[in-house]
Structure 1
Amino acid sequence: MSNLFADLPNALPEELVSVLVENGGVRIERIVSNGQNSPEGFWYDQAEAEWVVVLQGEALLQFEDQPSVRMKPGDFIDIPAHQKHRVEWTVPDQPTVWLAVFYGAPIRSA
């Protein structure tokens, strides 16, 4: 058994990403941010969809050609595959804990 709030660092040079479960076409990650944001001009453009919830802290997600979305504890969003997005801001004075579920990746043939 594990706890999503265990071992939260007080300061991070970069986001901390831990894969909790990976099975078939699904991957679940715990992401911890502490004031981090995406580099200027960088956009995530993922082959899989991402359902993400903020469990603690706050963040601002920016989507290409769409308004930014402020996320607080309990807020979740489903990001379709190839929807360009970036983390514009995370609260700097406490860890922001995200739970991200990636799904629907193309199946690779052997």
Structure 2
Amino acid sequence: MPRFGNLRDGPAPQAPGAETFTELLHAGGARVERIASRAVRDGAWYEQPWPEFVLLVAGAGRLAFADGTEQALGPGDWAHLPAGCRHRVAWTDPGAETIWLAVHLP
């Protein structure tokens, strides 16, 4: 059976600096998840052994990288993060929930 949903529907982070992760699909070695962010991460880095595609759906955010660079993202902007790319969410719009679609590739 087909499944349907809306990325704007889902659990919201309960505290500033928090994120919620909702798995939408897991198939063929790939995983698709909805991420809702409020403000900044606590300095923790992500460094995954798989490539990741992220799409900013709503709100605004900025990704930081280990080399000191940052990239601002708005609705519709996407990024491909190669395996081993050290990154983190440096900022999200404090006045609105930021919604991401993440695809973790095999």
Using structure 1 for the length normalisation, give the TM-score: 0.84
- Aligned in 2, Cα 1:20/1:7: closer, same or farther, shift over 3 Å? closer
Indicate the residue corresponding to 1:15 in structure 2: 19
- Aligned in 2, Cα 1:33/1:102: closer, same or farther, shift over 3 Å? same
- Aligned in 2, Cα 1:7/1:45: closer, same or farther, shift over 3 Å? closer
Equivalenced residue count is 101
Which aligned segments of 4 or more residues in structure 1 are displaced greater than 6 angstroms?
none
Structure 2 CA distance for aligned equivalents of residues 76 and 43 of structure 1? 19
Q: CA deviation at 1:38?
A: 2.2
Question: Which letter maps to 2:87?
Answer: H
Structure 1 CA distance for aligned equivalents of residues 101 and 83 of structure 2? 17
Pairing of 1:1-110 with structure 2 (within 5 A): 1-7=4-10, 9=12, 12-13=14-15, 14-35=18-39, 37-40=40-43, 42-104=44-106
Which structure 1 residue ranges, 5 or more long, are not aligned? 105-110
Identity %: 36
- Matched-pair contact (CA < 8 Å) for 2:52–2:103: yes
Using structure 2 for the length normalisation, give the TM-score: 0.87
Give the aligned CA root-mean-square deviation in angstroms: 1.4
- Matched-pair contact (CA < 8 Å) for 2:41–2:88: yes
Q: CA deviation at 1:12?
A: 2.3
